[in-house]
């Protein structure tokens, strides 16, 4: 039956069913996920997820790995309609922050999550320590992945503009903070000199020696 041929009631029923599946998917406890996966022939656990993530420290790479192994099974028709391959992203999002600090992994997924949470409120009232964690995570990202273009670090962001705003609201610009910004300039060749001109000048003078 095509969408045009569906009655209004059928469309409402399908919508209600879809909403119920979403509620089930995101409202289920971790153990319920593991049981459902096991019934589909997939052995999975929190311990395995932690071990796998510790090797790659990259959400996208880990999800792609799981999808390659199990995507066909999970996204095909089966009795557990609330289960599909998105389950792995949900588990990663739930479990990994309990065991890993994003400033120590440099994982773009969790950097973006932290930025989104920070920017939900008035950025001018943001905790500088949280901003410093985000800036430090960019440095980790660069060093662990040998990536030195700031604008390539996060999708859908003007990253130079973002970093400019984050630094702008940091009023405690002591030696420790300046060292943090210096490391960012040393890591990223495209970081805007106007974000922190005096530190940028120091970095350039050091390179000339």
**121 falls in which pLDDT band (50, 70, 90)?**
confident
Shared domain for 199 and 154, answered yes or no, is yes
Residue 103: C-alpha distances to residues 41, 70, 182 (Å): 35, 30, 17
Q: Total structural domains in the chain?
A: 2
Question: What domain range includes position 158?
Answer: 104-208
Shared domain for 147 and 64, answered yes or no, is no
Q: What average pLDDT does this structure show over 46-56?
A: 96
Phi, psi of 128 (to 5 degrees): -60, -35
Shared domain for 112 and 194, answered yes or no, is yes
Shared domain for 108 and 193, answered yes or no, is yes
List pLDDT tens digits, range 140-192. Answer: 999 999 999 999 999 878 999 999 999 999 999 999 999 999 999 999 999 99
Shared domain for 86 and 115, answered yes or no, is no
Query: 134 vs 80, which has greater pLDDT?
Result: 134
Residue at a domain's end among 70, 100, 130: 100
pLDDT of residue 113: 94
Shared domain for 89 and 142, answered yes or no, is no
CA 108 to chain centre: 5
3-class SS of residue 53: helix
List pLDDT tens digits, range 92-110. Answer: 999 999 999 999 999 999 9
Total-model pTM: 0.84
Shared domain for 108 and 201, answered yes or no, is yes
- In-domain check, residue 60: yes
Shared domain for 109 and 203, answered yes or no, is yes
pLDDT of residue 14: 59
């Amino acid at each position: 039956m095509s969408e045009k041929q569906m009655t209004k009631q059928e469309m409402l029923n399908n919508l209600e069913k879809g909403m119920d599946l979403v509620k089930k998917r995101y409202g289920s406890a971790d153990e319920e996920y593991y049981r459902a996966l096991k019934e589909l022939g997939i052995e999975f656990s929190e311990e395995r997820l932690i071990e796998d993530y510790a090797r790659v420290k990259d959400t996208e790479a880990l999800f792609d790995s799981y999808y390659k192994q199990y995507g066909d099974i999970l996204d095909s028709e089966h009795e557990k309609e609330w289960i599909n391959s998105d389950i792995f992203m949900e588990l990663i999002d739930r479990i990994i922050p309990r065991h890993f600090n994003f400033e120590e992994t440099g994982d773009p997924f969790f950097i973006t999550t932290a930025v989104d949470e920070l920017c939900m409120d008035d950025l001018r009232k943001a905790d500088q320590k949280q901003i410093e964690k985000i800036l430090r995570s960019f440095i980790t990202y660069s060093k662990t992945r040998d990536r030195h273009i700031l604008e390539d670090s996060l999708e859908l962001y003007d990253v130079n503009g973002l970093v400019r705003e984050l630094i702008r609201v940091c009023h405690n610009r002591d030696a420790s903070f300046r060292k943090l910004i210096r490391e960012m300039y040393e890591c990223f060749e495209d970081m805007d000199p106007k974000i922190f001109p005096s530190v940028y000048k120091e970095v350039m003078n050091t390179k000339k020696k």
